Amino acid sequence: MPVRPHGRALDALRPTTLETGTAPFAEGSCTITMGMTRVLCTASVDEGVPPWREGRGGWVTGEYAMLPRATAERTRRERRGPRGRTQEIQRLIGRSLRAAVDLAALGERTVTVDCDVLVADGGTRTASITGACVALEMAFQRLVSEGTLEASPLRQWVAATSAGMVDGEARLDLEYVEDAAADVDFNFVHLEDGRLVEVQGTAEGAPFTREELDELLHLGAAGAEALIRMQEVAIGHLR
Protein backbone atom coordinates (compact mmCIF):
# COMPACT_ATOMS: atom_id res chain seq x y z
CA MET A 1 0.00 0.00 0.00
CA PRO A 2 1.42 3.46 -0.86
CA VAL A 3 2.68 5.49 2.10
CA ARG A 4 1.60 9.10 2.61
CA PRO A 5 4.24 11.77 3.14
CA HIS A 6 5.35 11.87 6.78
CA GLY A 7 3.51 8.60 7.43
CA ARG A 8 0.14 10.29 7.90
CA ALA A 9 -3.00 8.15 8.16
CA LEU A 10 -5.43 8.44 5.25
CA ASP A 11 -7.98 10.24 7.45
CA ALA A 12 -5.48 12.48 9.27
CA LEU A 13 -5.10 16.23 8.94
CA ARG A 14 -1.65 17.69 8.71
CA PRO A 15 -0.33 19.08 12.03
CA THR A 16 -2.47 22.20 12.46
CA THR A 17 -2.22 25.30 14.64
CA LEU A 18 -4.37 28.43 14.90
CA GLU A 19 -2.42 31.33 16.41
CA THR A 20 -4.53 34.38 17.26
CA GLY A 21 -3.49 38.00 17.56
CA THR A 22 -0.61 37.74 15.11
CA ALA A 23 -1.40 41.12 13.47
CA PRO A 24 -1.94 43.44 16.45
CA PHE A 25 -3.29 46.44 14.51
CA ALA A 26 -6.14 44.44 12.92
CA GLU A 27 -9.49 44.08 14.67
CA GLY A 28 -9.01 40.32 14.38
CA SER A 29 -6.14 38.13 13.19
CA CYS A 30 -5.13 34.49 12.98
CA THR A 31 -2.18 32.69 11.46
CA ILE A 32 -3.14 29.17 10.46
CA THR A 33 -0.48 26.53 9.86
CA MET A 34 -1.33 23.18 8.26
CA GLY A 35 1.83 21.20 7.65
CA MET A 36 4.05 23.60 5.72
CA THR A 37 1.15 25.73 4.47
CA ARG A 38 0.91 28.96 6.45
CA VAL A 39 -1.64 31.76 5.97
CA LEU A 40 -2.01 35.08 7.80
CA CYS A 41 -5.68 36.10 8.07
CA THR A 42 -6.62 39.62 9.20
CA ALA A 43 -10.10 41.08 9.68
CA SER A 44 -10.68 44.83 9.24
CA VAL A 45 -13.93 46.60 10.17
CA ASP A 46 -15.21 49.68 8.34
CA GLU A 47 -18.36 51.63 9.04
CA GLY A 48 -20.72 51.62 6.06
CA VAL A 49 -21.49 49.18 3.27
CA PRO A 50 -21.39 49.27 -0.54
CA PRO A 51 -24.22 51.39 -2.02
CA TRP A 52 -26.13 48.34 -3.26
CA ARG A 53 -26.11 46.94 0.29
CA GLU A 54 -27.55 50.00 2.06
CA GLY A 55 -30.61 49.25 4.15
CA ARG A 56 -29.96 45.50 3.99
CA GLY A 57 -27.49 44.95 6.84
CA GLY A 58 -23.75 44.43 6.86
CA TRP A 59 -21.30 42.81 4.49
CA VAL A 60 -18.39 40.39 4.83
CA THR A 61 -15.89 39.92 2.04
CA GLY A 62 -12.54 38.22 1.53
CA GLU A 63 -9.31 38.99 -0.27
CA TYR A 64 -6.54 36.50 -1.04
CA ALA A 65 -2.93 36.89 -2.08
CA MET A 66 0.19 34.76 -2.23
CA LEU A 67 3.56 36.22 -1.30
CA PRO A 68 6.14 35.97 -4.11
CA ARG A 69 8.24 33.35 -2.31
CA ALA A 70 5.41 31.39 -0.77
CA THR A 71 6.27 28.80 -3.44
CA ALA A 72 9.46 27.10 -4.61
CA GLU A 73 9.93 29.68 -7.36
CA ARG A 74 9.11 33.37 -7.13
CA THR A 75 5.60 34.32 -8.24
CA ARG A 76 5.11 37.84 -9.57
CA ARG A 77 2.91 40.16 -7.55
CA GLU A 78 -0.51 40.79 -9.08
CA ARG A 79 -0.04 44.54 -9.48
CA ARG A 80 -2.59 44.86 -12.29
CA GLY A 81 -5.36 43.21 -10.34
CA PRO A 82 -6.06 39.67 -9.23
CA ARG A 83 -5.76 36.85 -11.74
CA GLY A 84 -8.60 34.43 -12.39
CA ARG A 85 -7.53 31.90 -9.74
CA THR A 86 -7.15 34.63 -7.14
CA GLN A 87 -10.60 36.04 -7.91
CA GLU A 88 -12.14 32.58 -7.63
CA ILE A 89 -10.55 31.99 -4.21
CA GLN A 90 -11.53 35.43 -2.92
CA ARG A 91 -15.15 34.85 -3.87
CA LEU A 92 -15.07 31.44 -2.21
CA ILE A 93 -13.72 32.91 1.03
CA GLY A 94 -16.38 35.62 1.04
CA ARG A 95 -19.25 33.22 0.32
CA SER A 96 -18.06 30.82 3.00
CA LEU A 97 -17.84 33.48 5.71
CA ARG A 98 -21.17 35.09 4.84
CA ALA A 99 -22.89 31.71 5.18
CA ALA A 100 -21.91 31.72 8.87
CA VAL A 101 -22.79 35.34 9.70
CA ASP A 102 -26.05 37.11 10.57
CA LEU A 103 -25.50 40.12 8.30
CA ALA A 104 -28.53 41.96 9.65
CA ALA A 105 -27.14 41.76 13.19
CA LEU A 106 -23.80 43.13 11.97
CA GLY A 107 -25.45 46.41 11.07
CA GLU A 108 -24.25 48.59 8.22
CA ARG A 109 -20.59 47.66 8.56
CA THR A 110 -18.17 45.96 6.20
CA VAL A 111 -15.64 43.41 7.39
CA THR A 112 -12.84 42.57 4.98
CA VAL A 113 -10.79 39.48 5.75
CA ASP A 114 -7.40 39.44 4.02
CA CYS A 115 -5.79 36.04 3.59
CA ASP A 116 -2.09 36.29 2.73
CA VAL A 117 -0.30 33.02 1.99
CA LEU A 118 3.14 33.00 3.60
CA VAL A 119 4.03 29.42 2.62
CA ALA A 120 2.10 27.33 0.07
CA ASP A 121 2.24 23.55 0.23
CA GLY A 122 -1.28 22.68 -0.89
CA GLY A 123 -4.68 23.55 0.55
CA THR A 124 -4.18 27.32 0.75
CA ARG A 125 -7.81 28.14 -0.01
CA THR A 126 -9.18 25.73 2.58
CA ALA A 127 -6.69 26.89 5.20
CA SER A 128 -7.62 30.50 4.40
CA ILE A 129 -11.31 29.87 5.09
CA THR A 130 -10.63 28.12 8.40
CA GLY A 131 -8.24 30.81 9.61
CA ALA A 132 -10.42 33.64 8.28
CA CYS A 133 -13.35 32.51 10.38
CA VAL A 134 -11.24 32.79 13.55
CA ALA A 135 -10.02 36.27 12.57
CA LEU A 136 -13.61 37.29 11.82
CA GLU A 137 -14.88 36.14 15.21
CA MET A 138 -12.04 38.00 16.92
CA ALA A 139 -13.16 41.18 15.15
CA PHE A 140 -16.77 40.57 16.20
CA GLN A 141 -15.73 40.01 19.81
CA ARG A 142 -13.84 43.28 19.75
CA LEU A 143 -16.97 45.09 18.58
CA VAL A 144 -18.87 43.45 21.44
CA SER A 145 -16.24 44.45 24.00
CA GLU A 146 -16.38 48.05 22.73
CA GLY A 147 -20.16 48.09 23.09
CA THR A 148 -20.73 48.48 19.36
CA LEU A 149 -22.56 45.14 19.12
CA GLU A 150 -24.59 43.34 21.77
CA ALA A 151 -23.48 39.90 20.60
CA SER A 152 -21.32 38.35 17.92
CA PRO A 153 -23.11 37.99 14.56
CA LEU A 154 -21.24 34.72 13.92
CA ARG A 155 -24.02 32.14 13.98
CA GLN A 156 -21.72 29.13 13.72
CA TRP A 157 -18.20 28.18 12.73
CA VAL A 158 -17.21 27.47 9.14
CA ALA A 159 -14.18 25.38 8.16
CA ALA A 160 -12.84 23.90 4.93
CA THR A 161 -10.87 20.81 4.00
CA SER A 162 -9.57 19.08 0.91
CA ALA A 163 -9.75 15.39 0.05
CA GLY A 164 -8.79 13.40 -3.00
CA MET A 165 -8.05 10.08 -4.60
CA VAL A 166 -4.31 9.40 -4.78
CA ASP A 167 -2.88 6.01 -5.80
CA GLY A 168 -6.38 4.56 -5.54
CA GLU A 169 -6.84 5.77 -1.95
CA ALA A 170 -9.16 8.38 -0.51
CA ARG A 171 -7.00 10.84 1.43
CA LEU A 172 -7.81 13.82 3.62
CA ASP A 173 -6.04 17.20 3.49
CA LEU A 174 -3.74 16.84 0.50
CA GLU A 175 -0.35 18.51 0.60
CA TYR A 176 1.29 19.64 -2.62
CA VAL A 177 2.98 16.39 -3.70
CA GLU A 178 -0.32 14.53 -3.22
CA ASP A 179 -2.41 17.24 -4.86
CA ALA A 180 -0.13 17.18 -7.93
CA ALA A 181 -0.52 13.39 -8.21
CA ALA A 182 -4.25 13.18 -7.41
CA ASP A 183 -6.67 11.56 -9.84
CA VAL A 184 -9.56 13.28 -8.03
CA ASP A 185 -9.38 16.50 -6.03
CA PHE A 186 -12.14 18.04 -3.89
CA ASN A 187 -12.56 21.02 -1.55
CA PHE A 188 -15.37 21.00 1.01
CA VAL A 189 -16.66 23.94 3.04
CA HIS A 190 -18.71 22.93 6.09
CA LEU A 191 -20.76 24.80 8.65
CA GLU A 192 -20.67 23.74 12.28
CA ASP A 193 -24.08 22.06 11.97
CA GLY A 194 -22.74 19.80 9.21
CA ARG A 195 -24.32 21.53 6.24
CA LEU A 196 -22.18 22.14 3.19
CA VAL A 197 -21.55 25.67 1.93
CA GLU A 198 -19.61 24.64 -1.15
CA VAL A 199 -18.22 21.57 -2.89
CA GLN A 200 -15.51 21.98 -5.53
CA GLY A 201 -14.26 18.83 -7.22
CA THR A 202 -13.01 17.34 -10.41
CA ALA A 203 -11.41 14.27 -11.92
CA GLU A 204 -7.88 15.44 -12.65
CA GLY A 205 -7.01 11.98 -13.96
CA ALA A 206 -9.32 8.97 -13.74
CA PRO A 207 -13.09 9.49 -13.29
CA PHE A 208 -14.50 8.65 -9.86
CA THR A 209 -17.39 6.50 -8.67
CA ARG A 210 -20.30 7.44 -6.44
CA GLU A 211 -18.75 5.25 -3.73
CA GLU A 212 -15.48 7.15 -3.94
CA LEU A 213 -17.33 10.47 -3.77
CA ASP A 214 -19.16 9.30 -0.64
CA GLU A 215 -15.83 8.34 0.92
CA LEU A 216 -14.37 11.76 0.14
CA LEU A 217 -17.45 13.47 1.56
CA HIS A 218 -17.06 11.46 4.76
CA LEU A 219 -13.39 12.40 5.06
CA GLY A 220 -14.15 16.06 4.41
CA ALA A 221 -16.85 16.16 7.08
CA ALA A 222 -14.61 14.51 9.67
CA GLY A 223 -11.78 16.89 8.86
CA ALA A 224 -14.02 19.94 9.13
CA GLU A 225 -15.36 18.77 12.47
CA ALA A 226 -11.82 18.46 13.83
CA LEU A 227 -10.93 21.94 12.55
CA ILE A 228 -14.05 23.45 14.14
CA ARG A 229 -13.01 22.02 17.49
CA MET A 230 -9.64 23.75 17.01
CA GLN A 231 -11.38 27.02 16.18
CA GLU A 232 -13.39 26.80 19.39
CA VAL A 233 -10.24 26.27 21.43
CA ALA A 234 -8.35 29.08 19.66
CA ILE A 235 -11.07 31.67 20.33
CA GLY A 236 -12.51 30.22 23.52
CA HIS A 237 -10.86 32.74 25.82
CA LEU A 238 -12.78 35.57 24.11
CA ARG A 239 -16.22 33.98 24.21
What pLDDT, on a 0 to 100 scale, did the predictor assign at position 238? Answer: 59
In whole angstroms, what is the distance from residue 117 CA to residue 131 CA? Answer: 11
Residues constituting the chain:
239
In whole angstroms, what is the distance from residue 234 CA to residue 8 CA? Answer: 24
Task: Specify the 3-state DSSP secondary structure of 162.
Answer: strand
What pLDDT, on a 0 to 100 scale, did the predictor assign at position 12? Answer: 97
- Of residues 76 and 172, the one with the higher pLDDT is 172
What pLDDT, on a 0 to 100 scale, did the predictor assign at position 78? Answer: 86
Using one digit for the tens of pLDDT, what is the confidence trace for 70-124?
999 998 898 888 888 899 999 999 999 999 999 999 999 999 999 999 999 999 9
Question: Quick check: 123 and 51 in contact, CB under 8 A?
Answer: no
Question: pTM of the full predicted structure?
Answer: 0.95
What pLDDT, on a 0 to 100 scale, did the predictor assign at position 4? Answer: 86
User: Is the pLDDT score of 49 beyond 90?
Assistant: yes
CA 167 to each of CA 29, 171, 172, 202, 216: distance values in angstroms, whole numbers, following the listed order: 37, 10, 13, 16, 14
For residue 155, report the phi and psi dihedrals to the nearest 5 degrees.
-75, -35
What pLDDT, on a 0 to 100 scale, did the predictor assign at position 3? Answer: 74
Question: Quick check: 43 and 136 in contact, CB under 8 A?
Answer: yes
DSSP string, 5-64: GGG--TTPPPPEEEEE-SSTTSSEEEEEEETTEEEEEEEEEEES--GGGTTS--EEEEEE
What pLDDT, on a 0 to 100 scale, did the predictor assign at position 237? Answer: 60
Question: Quick check: 18 and 4 in contact, CB under 8 A?
Answer: no
